[in-house]
Structure 1
């Protein structure tokens, strides 16, 4: 269920922070229904300095998205959030769905902030609230972050494995 995605996110962050901090400057957290183009990801990461990689927090950015409230028609409530869960009308900026690059130094801070952030079953928005607790952190938007079409040879992430395999 969608509720489990936030638990999966928190566990992934804790595990990577505990066991992989000295193994990599940056981590790619990606949804299990997405794939990545290793060559393009490596080229992107090589274009950054070590400091930039260790302090990276980027993905496909959603800025101040309106919170969807429950409808009378329950079939439309896939992403509806109650006022109890989120009392505000908008979410803070967050990287939606697909994938997020997180630098090793940023990851350490996120893990601590996650422990002090109220649980929200919408994992992407939860990360926005976590990042908002760390005012020096800002999500960076990446144009071309995911595959727009099979002609996009610079994309890093693809949703459809078939399109991904055939396109690259």
Structure 2
């Protein structure tokens, strides 16, 4: 089945999920960010086919999210490192993990914990306002048109105004 690209949709969520069209991409990023950087190690850890892994890694490199670095000359071997753009996906993955811990974890509980090294405590990601520090929720936020907004498929924009939640 051919996927419809979403890069033309005036929505940052659509454009970002266009890159993360399947779970493999997020899991590859999780592994690379946690230090599993070699192709064979990624394939083994994820149980993913080499063809699918190669395709996802190539796309992540093409998008500037990962970089391929040589770590051995004979025989030539390379591993993958997150760029600054890739490292900024970590909070996104933490938020997805927190949601999964709340709604998808089995009766044993979450499969992993996050320890904040600065204070030494286990923690959970929190999305908060950059101005006042208060939590951001569906009930206390609204979206306004941005400079890149436009009317079109996949957007919630109607003319210069957004649809209000009712």
Compare CA radii of gyration and give the structure with the larger one. Answer: 2
> TM-score scaled to structure 1, two decimals?
0.22
**TM-score scaled by structure 2?**
0.22
Greater relative CO (CA pairs within 8 A, separation 6+): 1
